Structure 1
Amino acid sequence: MLQRPSKEEYMAYYEQYVALVGDEPLIDTLAKQLTSTTELLSDIPEQQSNFRYAEGKWTLKEVIGHISDNERVMSYRLLRIARGDNTPLAGYDQDQFMSGSSFQDWSLSQIIEDYISVRKATLTLLRGLSDEAWQRIGSANGTEITARAIAYIIAGHELHHWRIIQDKYLG
């Protein structure tokens, strides 16, 4: 069974995400998120998906798009590290990503489809990793990190944003 990463396996900033992940097997958590997130999003009217809770904040569509974008970036890092690539990987600016996106022009159903595709690809990647691959260490955003830690960060990042969504967008 995959164990929770130690705090030495990732930068302190990511503790806010890793700490949110429960004790059930990580791949089960990610698979359950796929189901629950898809079901929740499917019940939201299109008009509500364009809601911003404050000036300068992202719309609900943009938040979901950000979750998918972040998962793509983190999964790419995880893949490179798990395969033993020791090339330092650059960070990314989430606000710059958002300013270059067109999520506002997408329908909510397109954003849901994108989220589903990204999560299924992540699950396929993770299910194929060897025990050794999970433990591999690489460098991303100027800090050492393990493949295992990245997988936990992906799950926790979504949990973090779902708290915000439920409080600020759906509450």
Structure 2
Amino acid sequence: MLLRQSDSSGWVLKALRECANTVVRELSALDEDELLHSPIEGDWCLKEIAAHLRDAEELALRQMNAIAERARRPLPAWDIDLLPAERNYRSADLGDLLAELRDLRQETTYLLWGLDDADWQESAEHPYRGRISIETLARELAQHDLEHLAEVRRLKATLCAED
């Protein structure tokens, strides 16, 4: 499923809330072996995907807060795709990862609900991408969620196929 540019901010907020909750439900009932399963050597396991989503949420929230606060410095930026390997998320506690994701997502949605239409268009300088708006960050975060939800479901399907 793709997020269209014409989708309203209300739809983006709905997607952000629902997708995070769906990911939590998809992962919560799995055991440790299932969470660490990766059908292709070098690909992320389900636990690493959960950690990646948490990292993406943290970064997006920091960026949106910086824009909302009218910060005059470049937005924070780091490569969240490298963190699962650097931080050994395979040994992390899934409950902690999901709780952090839920808490961060709640902060994100509270921030976004409090913005008017003009605030969604506020922007700041990203160090690699140039000017970027809160709306763009929110849409990209929702799209990112949808892509990884599909990945979670594909990985879970391989678990069933291998049983």
Confirm whether residue 80 of structure 1 aligns to residue 74 of structure 2.
no
Q: What is the aligned counterpart of 1:142 among 129, 147, 150?
A: 129
Q: What is the aligned counterpart of 2:55 among 53, 69, 94?
A: 69
Runs of 5+ consecutive residues of structure 1 not aligned to the other structure: 1-15
Contact map agreement 1:17 1:155 (CA 8 A) in 2: no
1:163–1:20 distance in 2 versus 1, CA, 3 Å:
farther
Deviation at 1:44, TM superposition (A): 1.9
Match of 1:49 in 2: 35
Moved more, 76-85 or 99-108: 99-108
- 1:2-17 matches, within 5 Å, as none
- 1:114-129 matches, within 5 Å, as 114-129=100-115
RMSD over aligned CA atoms reads 2.4
SS at structure 1 position matched to 2:82: helix
Match of 1:9 in 2: none
Q: Please, what TM-score do these two structures have when normalized by structure 1?
A: 0.79
Post-superposition CA distance 1:113-143 (Å, at most 9, x none)? 1221121121122122233221112121232
Confirm whether residue 111 of structure 1 aligns to residue 97 of structure 2.
yes
Structure 2 distance, partners of 1:19, 1:156, is 9
Contact map agreement 2:125 2:132 (CA 8 A) in 1: yes
Contact map agreement 1:65 1:103 (CA 8 A) in 2: yes
Amino acid at match of 1:97: L
Match of 2:152 in 1: 165
SS at structure 1 position matched to 2:56: helix
Deviation at 1:99, TM superposition (A): 2.8
Amino acid at match of 1:146: S
Runs of 5+ consecutive residues of structure 2 not aligned to the other structure: 158-163
Q: Aligned residues: percent identity?
A: 23
Moved more, 130-139 or 61-70: 130-139
